[in-house]
Amino acid sequence: MSSLTDIIFANTKNYQGFVDERFQDLASQFSRLQDGRIESGGAALAVYFQGQKVVDIYTGKKSPTELWNEKTLSVCYSTGKGILATLAHILVSEGFLDYDTPIIQYWAEFGQNGKESMTLRHILSHQSGLYDIRNLLASAVEMADWQHMLQVMEQATPRFTVGKDIAYQALTFGWLVGGVLEKATNQSLSSLMQKYLVGPLQLDGAYFGVPNTELDRVARLIQKVSSIPKTEAKPSKAKAKNNKTSFADKLVELSGQNPQDFLDAMVPKGMRDFSFFSDQGLQAVIPAANGVFTANSLAKIYAMLANQGVWDGKVFIQPEVFAKLSQIQSIKRDRVMPIQMKWRLGYHRVITMGKRAKKGFGHIGYNGSGAWCDPQRELSFAYTHNFATGSITGDYRLWGLSQETLRCADAELKGSKGWF
């Protein structure tokens, strides 16, 4: 974490792009939070308010030799879950499937090993019991084979009775939801994305599986170069660093949850042999973890949701469907996530530093990316980056930017920004 003084005295104009004057404080905060680390990565922020784009800015580097630009795509990890869920809701609106019909009606091979009664609702709300990825695969590289992973899901056995508990499907969510959508429509996931989201919303970059022609647009991790020669490194300190408990690990420990559930959901065997940032990882279809987006595309999708499923006069989600998708499905404690998520149908609550968005929903990613909407404020938000950070609950930048976005909107709506 950058020191507080570095943030306070940082450059407030170290960004490019468009900012509505009503959200200038948000742009300044974005600059403060990124200014001290632009040599090790880049970031982008987009916001829509009352049907209009009010922020679309970026800064830093997309690679060691290239600057971030308005077309830069970013790996967003679980932030993509919210986009996949949105596609599912559109297809429910289109009549291809519904939330409570057993999945076997669309995907007969799925009805094995206690999954006969499982529905789309169970999967979207993380009540399927199919959260364990670690014991399903011999190696993480298997995740790159879409058809193979659908077969793995067909043969998988839930870890608990369907609908009787909650466990975040950190990786399995994508194959489960994506598989149902393909089987119900007899169309590929990429075709469905293009037909129902990318084309109609005129998105500038949104992929589960990046095409060859778009790989050059993707921001890659910028590896830190150690200033200490290997021969001078002290083994004792290196070992101590490797054994240091992460913030996420501490949260799991303090929550009283079973660390094995967390490990089984989050970490496939052989992850050292697989990278989401490699060409193989980027081109694979792993919708729960490797969605690649521009910040503007994410914010625009959520702007449609902030407008209750309608955009530019087109109804993407019927009112009766929209009324269901943001309803909290259960407040029971999650087996995997260490904080209260208040799971909706594919989304969770908006996490900030004080401000509340009671009717808001969205999804964060492991690297601290995130996107959400608040229909009450007609507001949507998206933050992307390529910094080498990791946290299952986001980080202070995401929380702080979400907080300031709500404050700027409230200044316009209520006449006062406020903190809560």
**pLDDT tens digits, one per residue of 75-130:** 999 999 999 999 999 999 999 999 999 999 999 999 999 999 999 999 999 999 99
- The Cα-based distances of 267 to 126, 135, 203 in angstroms read 17, 10, 32
- Whether 282 is in a domain gets the answer yes
CB atoms < 10 A from the CB of 191, how many?
11
Question: Is the Cβ–Cβ distance between 147 and 367 less than 8 Å?
Answer: no
- Whether 69 is in a domain gets the answer yes
- Whether 34 is in a domain gets the answer no
Q: Report the DSSP pairing between strands 310-311 and 314-315.
A: antiparallel
Q: Which pLDDT belongs to residue 237?
A: 41
What CATH number is given to the structural domain containing 159?
Answer: 3.40.710.10
- Whether 391 is in a domain gets the answer no
Q: What is the mean pLDDT of residues 58-84?
A: 97
Q: What is the CA radius of gyration of the chain?
A: 21
Q: Which pLDDT belongs to residue 225?
A: 56
Residue 405 CA, distance from chain mean position? 18
- Whether 87 is in a domain gets the answer yes
Of 413, 417, 414, 390, give the one whose Cα is nearest residue 403: 417
Host domain of residue 129: 65-222+260-293+301-368
Of 41, 76, 36, give the one whose Cα is nearest residue 61: 41
Q: What is the mean pLDDT of residues 347-372?
A: 95
Read off the pLDDT of residues 222-266 as tens digits, 9 standing for 90 and up: 987 544 444 333 333 433 344 555 555 566 566 667 899 999 999
- The Cα-based distances of 113 to 17, 174, 249, 367 in angstroms read 52, 20, 32, 34
- Whether 38 is in a domain gets the answer no
pLDDT higher than threshold 80 for residue 4? no
Please state the domain count of the chain.
1
Query: pTM higher than 0.85, yes or no?
Result: yes
- Whether 203 is in a domain gets the answer yes
Question: Is the Cβ–Cβ distance between 392 and 337 less than 8 Å?
Answer: yes
- Whether 406 is in a domain gets the answer no
